[in-house]
Amino acid sequence: MPNQSKMKKENILFITAGFTMLFPVFVFAQHASDSIQQTLKEINIVATKTEKNKLETGRSVTVLTQKDLQGSVYSTLAELLSNQEGIYITGNSQTPGTNESIFMRGSNSNQTAIFVDGIRINDGSTVNNTIDLSELPLGDVERIEIIRGSHSTLFGSSAIGGVIQISTFKPEKDGLNARINVSAGTFEKDGASIFPSASVGYKFKNGFYLSASGNFQQVNGLDATVDTITDPFAFKNRDRDDWTKSGAAGQLGYAWKKGDASISFRNAKMKTDIDRSAFVDDENYKLDFERNTFMGNFNINPIKKLEIFLSGGYTRNTRHAINDSSIMNIQGGTDHSYAEDRYESENISSDLFLSWKEKNIVPSIGISYQEEKMNQSNYYYSALYAPFITDLNTNLDSIHPETRTNSIYAQLELSGALLNPKLQSFKLILGARHIQHSKFGNEFVWEVNPTWQLSNNSLIYFSYSKGFNAPSLYQLYAPDLYFRYDDNSTTGISRGNDKLLPEVSESYEFGLKQKIDGNGFFGLSFFKSITSDQIDYVYLWNQGIPIDQLGTDFNRDDYRGDLYLNTGKQTTYGLEFSFENKINEFIKLHFNLSIVNGYLDYIESETLKNQTGGNTVQIYNNGAFLNTATRTQGLTRRPNTARTEIHIHPIENLKAIFGLNYVGSRGDVHTIQQRVRLELCLLLR
């Protein structure tokens, strides 16, 4: 882990530097805005599932509209999101095809809920039910809302770190609506990439509309390995890999004065060449992924005060990997093995939400249902040690991994004017959600969110919220057992743990929002989140061997297998700062800063001992041994980040963007890294 005193000094220095840089900007902004007298367009958001102005919302929220997306220099969704405060994405800006996982406000990668057109997008075919962000294209995205902090009351499981809502292209104006983008490039000796995307729609005057979009990305000639072998006669088996992503979507809808209804279909495919292991090539290892999603949305205002939203979706994912015999020597000999793995998942979801709007009170109620299923089949054949043939074929057909979740939730927005007209500036949101899960039973979460409008341009807010995250199907059902090589026995403990409890969080946030004379905005928030019953992947070791002697005797097998386990509590805390301002007609500034830190408290309990057979437990994520209750400082892969952009728009069709991106130290089991990147981009229209 990083040295804590060093991290504290770095944080203090970082804050000081950030505010020092921005102080003259604040001064200049106040004078510049007086002369320009322009007004920022009010942006409505749905962080509370009902439309609200950004400045009236008592949460840290970022809204990116189509105008923002067109004016950016990012070609992928991960690049765009990773430059927003509070978000770090592993795999971003690395080799195309690398898994991209999101970490928001220090939460784990499976603790951020992602929605596309109102439908939750996850991937039950993966270990922790997370989506690979490289799957989602940016080309047909129309709008993105980032809601930071726990939001399980309205959005259910996985919303401990926050929620990302993505709205895709649909025709807004009568007639033909179209958008086309093409990018291409080369790298290294033989590498090349091309990325075209297009969205086309038509809206008829009678209210019917239809749209279609497609995207394609192909990258050839990748080589992510490092050649460290100096022997010219050694067999290296180096190859260059390819990655291909394609997607298509279609939508049919009808809009009328009081509502909108639509049905749509989305398909995503990825084909990836996989290396044998970290930095070791394999010319015959391929991975294919496909997602098909059907969704429907219906919203209506039957009367002025009543809003009704209904959404539903069905998703099917397939992940198919084939590893054919690999060449092992310069003579062309192979390992005579073949492996094929197929992982499949299905997700059915529906949500009904009703909201009644009075002048000083807005009650809302909703019900939701989610059903998740998964399966996997694995085949392995090896004739490497013929005539001793290994031929294994396994699946989960007899287990039928699935879960069902029913929820009812409610929210009440109150104005202080109910008590006294002078309290009009005070607002209070109360919310609660009851969850019934087919595996772990009942859970209850709630939130309190008061705000105070200091003026038309200033808001302070506080929130307390409880969140939850359900264990994935794999974590619950994975049947894998470990067989000891020294006596061919097993502990009988499977990797999946059907006794897992959901992760439950308590989150606190205090924040300030300030509009700067119609031309700018800044926000500052402090947060803390405590997640109990943290689910970790752990190794089990022979409890009779001292920790410092584990693995030292080759004639005995100290290993006892692996398991998913509720290990303890994770505490994260930090601050976020964002600033933007239009200095004049030609210059616009953006700056954001995120500082996050934390620690983990691991427990020692009879429940833990019973589930592990009394064996010694080691956390995979950071290598800690849980022989006693312990605390580890620092969080893996949660760096401090900062981003500065200067947009210069000297003439109508030319924009220059200067960017400085900082990613601080991020401790992992083996590495500590930091990165600073300077960017200069020119946009021609």
Cα separations in angstroms, 297 against 255, 408, 526, 649:
12, 19, 35, 39
pLDDT, residue 53, reads: 75
Q: Distance between CA atoms of 214 and 622, rounded to whole angstroms?
A: 41
Give the three-state DSSP class for 550.
coil
pLDDT, residue 673, reads: 47
Residue 467 contacts residue 160 (beta carbons within 8 Å): yes
Q: Distance between CA atoms of 145 and 147, rounded to whole angstroms?
A: 6
pLDDT, residue 390, reads: 82
Residue 568 contacts residue 145 (beta carbons within 8 Å): no
Count the Cβ atoms, other than its own, within 10 Å of residue 595: 24
pTM (predicted TM-score): 0.87
Q: Distance between CA atoms of 469 and 528, rounded to whole angstroms?
A: 17
**Considering only CA atoms, which of 616, 620, 596, 595 is closest in space to residue 670?**
620
Q: Distance between CA atoms of 197 and 464, rounded to whole angstroms?
A: 42
Cross-strand pairs, 275: none
pLDDT, residue 634, reads: 82
Q: Distance between CA atoms of 370 and 120, rounded to whole angstroms?
A: 10
Q: Distance between CA atoms of 419 and 609, rounded to whole angstroms?
A: 54
Each residue of 79-112: b (16+ CB within 10 Å) or e? bbbbbbbbbbbbbbeeebbbbbbbbbbbbbbbbb
- Tokens 């007899």 sit on residue: 398
Residue 573 contacts residue 597 (beta carbons within 8 Å): yes
The three-point CA angle 238-239-241 to 5° equals 140
Six token digits for residue 683: 């946009």
**Considering only CA atoms, which of 191, 218, 335 is closest in space to residue 276?**
335
Ranges of the chain with pLDDT below 70:
1-51, 94, 187-190, 224-227, 229, 234-237, 276-281, 518, 666-685
pLDDT, residue 12, reads: 37
Spatial CB neighbours of 420, under 8 Å, sequence gap ≥ 6: none
Q: Distance between CA atoms of 103 and 572, rounded to whole angstroms?
A: 12
pLDDT, residue 468, reads: 94
DSSP string for 476-520:
HH-----B-TTT--B----SS-TTPPPEEEEEEEEEEEEEETTTE
Q: Distance between CA atoms of 137 and 247, rounded to whole angstroms?
A: 8
Six token digits for residue 479: 């049947």
DSSP state of 21: H
Q: 3-state SS string over 385-434?
A: ECCEEEEEEEECCCCCCEEEEEEEEEEEEEEHHHCCHHHCCEEEEEEEEE
Give the three-state DSSP class for 17.
helix
Sequence-distant contacts of 84-87: CB under 8 A, at least 24 apart:
84/146, 84/592, 85/60, 85/576, 85/577, 85/578, 85/592, 85/593, 85/594, 85/641, 85/643, 86/60, 86/146, 86/148, 86/162, 86/576, 86/594, 86/596, 87/146, 87/594
Q: Distance between CA atoms of 685 and 213, rounded to whole angstroms?
A: 22
DSSP string for 327-352:
B-STT--B--EEEEEEEEEEEEEEEE
Q: Distance between CA atoms of 377 and 343, rounded to whole angstroms?
A: 7
Q: Distance between CA atoms of 389 and 383, rounded to whole angstroms?
A: 5
pLDDT, residue 349, reads: 96
The three-point CA angle 535-345-566 to 5° equals 10
pLDDT, residue 21, reads: 38
How many alpha carbons fall within 13 Å on the CB side of residue 633?
8
DSSP string for 254-284:
EEETTEEEEEEEEEEEEEEE--SBTTB--TT
pLDDT, residue 18, reads: 42
